[in-house]
A = this chain, B = another copy of it.
Amino acid sequence: MPTIVVDVMPKAELLDPQGKAVTGALSRLGVDAFSAVRIGKRFELTVEGEVDDDVLATARRIADEILSNAVIEDVVAVEVVE
């Protein structure tokens, strides 16, 4: 069954406390390859049947209106997989 993946990340200008905590933990554990970590959400929407333009438009709409909070988050991708 086709799946639509929606990626939502905290806005770049906002502090991401979860990400900051992981960045700190990595550095305490001796992992210094990464200068920053940001943590967002990945939604997998299972579609029954075909993914047509209507379904994709609906996915984009709910990504903006329901799955993300536009005040603090950006929808960075809405894409069909499989």
Chain A residues proximal to chain B, CB less than 8 Å: 1, 4, 7-9, 19, 22, 25-26, 29, 31, 33-48, 54-55, 58-59, 62, 66-67
Contacts and interface: CB of A to CB of B under 8 A. Distances in A.
Nearest to A36: B46
Number of copies: 2
8 contacts: A22-B43, A34-B46, A35-B46, A35-B48, A37-B43, A39-B43, A39-B44, A40-B43
Contacts of A67: 22
Contacts of A39: 41-44
A8 B41 CA distance: 9
Q: Which of A33, A39, A42, A55 has the most CB of B within 10 A?
A: A33
